Amino acid sequence: MAKAKKLIASTLHLDSAVEFSESSRTALDSSNNEQQLFDHLNEKYKCSKAGEIHISIEGRTAQFKWILPVVVQEAEELHKQALAHAKNKDYAKAITLWIKAISLNPVDPDYYFNAGIAFFEQNNYREAIDNLDYALQLCPIYYKASLILGTVYLKLRKFEKSENHLRESIAFNHENTLALLNLATASSVLKKYDDGIIIFKKIAEINPNEVRAYFGMAKIYSLQNKITEANECYHKVVDIDPKGPLAAHAKRLIIADKSATKELKKSAEINLASYQNLDEVFSEAYSAYLFSDYKLSADLYKKYVSTKSDDEQAWYSFGEASLRCGALETALNAFQKAIDLNPSKALYFKQAALCLDMLNRYDDALNYIQKAHQKGKNDSVTLMLLGKIYLRHNQFDKAVEFLQQAIKRNKQNISAEYYLAKVYAKQGLVDQASEHLYWIINSKIKTPLKTKAEKLLNEIKQT
């Protein structure tokens, strides 16, 4: 059963479109003749495989209406069911229903558009592109399809195609933050830095608290060696969202006055007056860490947290630098400070557990590493540490379970191999222990565990 007409409407503000639609810039900008504007828009958008497009122009605004004469009710019911499945993230079922809807009405762009999004969510980019592209062939003013298509191409690093589709979408919807952010990103990668800055500034005008716009501008300014402008934008990111994920990156990327670091290396005292901003101290600490100057890094982080004690990222970084210096108690204290500020972060518990294990505080170490695991840490090192500490507590079955998982996650985890061998040796499973020890000894990886493996192997042979 069919019912008459489906309508898709959109508005093109011509003055805004001039900013973004490169292919139409001259036609939209140079002429105030309504007939010339109409002819240009009619030529560009009337190439529809289905339905009819009606265009009306009033001043500098064009109104579009795309009309599909016949809508199949049964297909619409399948469409509604598919939307419900997609809302619950059951994309496979949703796609199946949209394919059925398309078989009943193959000229409805809504079905192709939504199927394209579902394929995109499944990382099936080829099918996503095919469906979104066909939605635009059916309805050339379907600017939402242009937005998603541009986003897909951005994922695929096809930046020119991404840029073209995003510009087309923004021409119709010039305040869509996602589209603008993606376009600015594509332009930046294509080294169209001036365009990128203009777009990021427009985003900041629309939403003054959009940290991604300031972070994007800062990255471009850094590439252009405009250090003052870059730092201003990085500071803006930190000011707007001091606890957000981009703030931590921004603080690392702020470019400090290098003369301050030179003076610091001549003296044990850290003079904050040498720095223009406290965040420069954080930046220098991070830089020192990257270049393996852990003592300098730890000293700088220590000074930073003495002034700004509510920065969990700084406490964590202070812990990492102190751990590299062998200052276990200092590192442990720093990780515990980070945990106090954010007890949901599994990484902080993991690093505290590592310190506690090295300090031979095995009960506390087990408590912390269990919490890290419960909060989602499931990497090879966490699993190895769990197994090692369970071994310390003579819980051999649990130790074997986690050490085997650690090796499965990373077949080059020598520590997990060694402690698994130790568990087997404790259980009297000589053959299994020897197998892992021989593997360590013959490994091409240089590690002091080879000496320990040889010693343990000799002990096993003598029993």
Domain residue extents for the chain: 2-174, 187-251, 256-376, 378-463
| CA-based radius of gyration for the chain | 30
**Cβ atoms of residues 389 and 420 within 8 Å:** no
Q: CATH topology for 378-463?
A: 1.25.40
φ/ψ of 277, rounded to 5, equals: -155, 145
**Cβ atoms of residues 371 and 343 within 8 Å:** no
> CB neighbours of 369 closer than 8 A, spacing ≥ 6?
349, 350, 353, 357, 382, 385, 386, 389
Identify the CA nearest to 373 among candidates 406, 341, 350.
350
Work out the angle at residue 8's Cα, subtended by the Cα atoms of residues 147 and 23, and round it to the nearest 5 degrees. Answer: 45
Amino acid type, 419: Y
DSSP 67: E
User: What does the pLDDT read at residue 87?
Assistant: 93
Least confident stretch, 29-33, 142-146, 319-323, 362-366: 29-33
* 214 to 236, 247, 458: CA distances (angstroms): 7, 11, 61
DSSP 24: G
Least confident stretch, 224-238, 321-335, 399-413: 224-238
User: What does the pLDDT read at residue 400?
Assistant: 94
User: What does the pLDDT read at residue 259?
Assistant: 46
Amino acid type, 191: K
User: What does the pLDDT read at residue 10?
Assistant: 82
Residue 59 pLDDT greater than 80, yes or no: no
Instruction: Name the average pLDDT for the chain.
Output: 85
Give residue 266's pLDDT band: very low, low, confident or very high (50, 70, 90).
very low
Residue 2 pLDDT greater than 50, yes or no: no
2-174 and 187-251 agree in CATH topology: yes
Residue 245 pLDDT greater than 90, yes or no: no
Region 110-139 average pLDDT: 93
pTM: 0.59
Residue 223 pLDDT greater than 90, yes or no: no
The CATH architecture that domain 256-376 belongs to is Alpha Horseshoe (1.25)
Identify the CA nearest to 389 among candidates 377, 374, 401.
401
The CATH architecture that domain 2-174 belongs to is Alpha Horseshoe (1.25)
Region 402-420 average pLDDT: 91
Instruction: Give me the residues paired with residue 57 across strands.
Output: 62
Block residue for tokens 């085997």: 404
Least confident stretch, 4-18, 71-85, 210-224, 428-442: 4-18
Q: CATH topology for 187-251?
A: 1.25.40
User: What does the pLDDT read at residue 447?
Assistant: 82
The tokens describing 72, both together, are: 């199949």
User: What does the pLDDT read at residue 264?
Assistant: 47
**Cβ atoms of residues 137 and 112 within 8 Å:** no
User: What does the pLDDT read at residue 26?
Assistant: 53
pLDDT per residue as tens digits for the range 173-189: 888 899 999 999 999 88
User: What does the pLDDT read at residue 267?
Assistant: 44
Residue 23 pLDDT greater than 70, yes or no: no
User: What is the percent of the chain with per-residue pLDDT over 90, rounded to a whole number?
Assistant: 49
Give residue 275's pLDDT band: very low, low, confident or very high (50, 70, 90).
very low
Q: Is 53 helix (H, G, I), strand (E, B) or coil?
A: strand
Give the C-alpha separation, 154 to 450, whole Å. 47
Strand arrangement of the beta sheet that strand 61-72 belongs to: 2-13, 61-72, 52-58
**Cβ atoms of residues 437 and 457 within 8 Å:** yes
User: What does the pLDDT read at residue 389?
Assistant: 92
Contacts of 222-230 with C-beta under 8 Å, sequence gap 24+, read: 222/253, 222/255, 223/193, 224/193, 227/255, 230/255
User: What does the pLDDT read at residue 369?
Assistant: 94
**Cβ atoms of residues 414 and 443 within 8 Å:** yes
Give residue 86's pLDDT band: very low, low, confident or very high (50, 70, 90).
very high
